[in-house]
Amino acid sequence: MPIHDWTRVEAGIFHAFHHDWITEIARALNRGLLPADYYALPEQHAAGFGPDVLTLQDDDSTVNGTTNVAPPPASGPGGVLLAAPKLPPSAETDMAFYRRKQKVIAVRHVSGDRIVAMVEIVSPSNKAARNPLRAFVAKAAQLLDQQIHLLILDLLPRGRRDPDGIHGEIWQEIAGQEYTPPADKPLTLAAYESGLTVRAYVVLAAVGDVLTEMPLFLEPEQAVHVPLEATYMAAFNEVPRRWRRVLEPSTA
């Protein structure tokens, strides 16, 4: 199924799809893609993102004064192994530049479980004004500074507030480097691997393209691959027929 033109519908319609897509990604991860010691949880306004964010956590937590330390993430249910990303990195930066600019802000999950990664789908509200966009970019940079890996999916075209796309904004914030995407690929899929350095794995797309798998890092150089196409299709099937007709004008 090709990527649809979500500018055809109101922000509320995209938000409903956004919510279902996050849920479908979480289901796919929890049904065998993640190692046994990890789980994915859709949340509302987690760590300043929103409205729906997918957090990946392990069971390294403290209960009644006792610390439970998870073993290394070797395999998941059915022997699923973490692997190096299939994509080559688009860019890499030492985090020292960003750490000189920004105070450390700890991000904790209310359950006490350690967040290791987050998936965020950019919504129209993130780009509605300069302040929400700056808040989104700053939060992404802070999470990367905390060595929390990110997967950011932006199916909304670049605009005057983000002329270089969401990755261009984030990369300028953490690396101080310009990023100029091609004009014919206005949509962005960006995975960030955060350790002593941050590596970005960026795939650019356009309306009509088929979504590719993207890496979601749980540890440096260790990732699972998220089936974006299958989960997108499952979520799109839940969009009311009235709006599917707008997004797919040829559909009877």
Residue whose C-alpha is closest to residue 82's, from 186, 180, 219 = 219
Sketch the domain layout of the chain as residue ranges: 6-58+82-246
Q: Which residues contact 103 (CB under 8 A, 6 or more apart)?
A: none
Task: Give me the pLDDT at residue 223, please.
Answer: 92
Integer CA distances (angstroms), 39 to 56, 70, 93, 116, 227, in order? 6, 12, 29, 10, 16
CA–CA distance, 226 with 197 (Å, rounded to integer): 22
Task: Give me the pLDDT at residue 41, please.
Answer: 83
Task: Give me the pLDDT at residue 250, please.
Answer: 67
Task: Give me the pLDDT at residue 232, please.
Answer: 97
Beta strands 114-121 and 149-154 are parallel
Alpha helix positions (H), the chain:
11-28, 96-101, 130-145, 165-175, 228-236, 241-247
Task: Give me the pLDDT at residue 209, please.
Answer: 96
Question: Which helix (DSSP H) or strand (DSSP E) does residue 222 occupy?
Answer: strand 222-226
Q: What is the pLDDT of residues 99-151, one digit of tens each?
A: 444 333 232 333 457 788 889 999 998 998 999 999 999 999 999 988 899 99
Task: Give me the pLDDT at residue 86, please.
Answer: 74
Task: Give me the pLDDT at residue 50, please.
Answer: 54
Q: List the pLDDT tens digit at each of the 252 positions of the chain.
A: 789 999 999 999 999 999 999 999 999 998 989 888 888 888 765 545 655 556 666 655 433 333 333 334 444 444 455 767 776 666 677 654 444 443 332 323 334 577 888 899 999 989 989 999 999 999 999 999 888 999 999 999 999 999 999 999 999 999 888 888 899 999 999 999 998 889 999 999 999 999 999 999 998 889 999 999 999 999 999 999 999 999 996 644
Task: Give me the pLDDT at residue 43, please.
Answer: 73
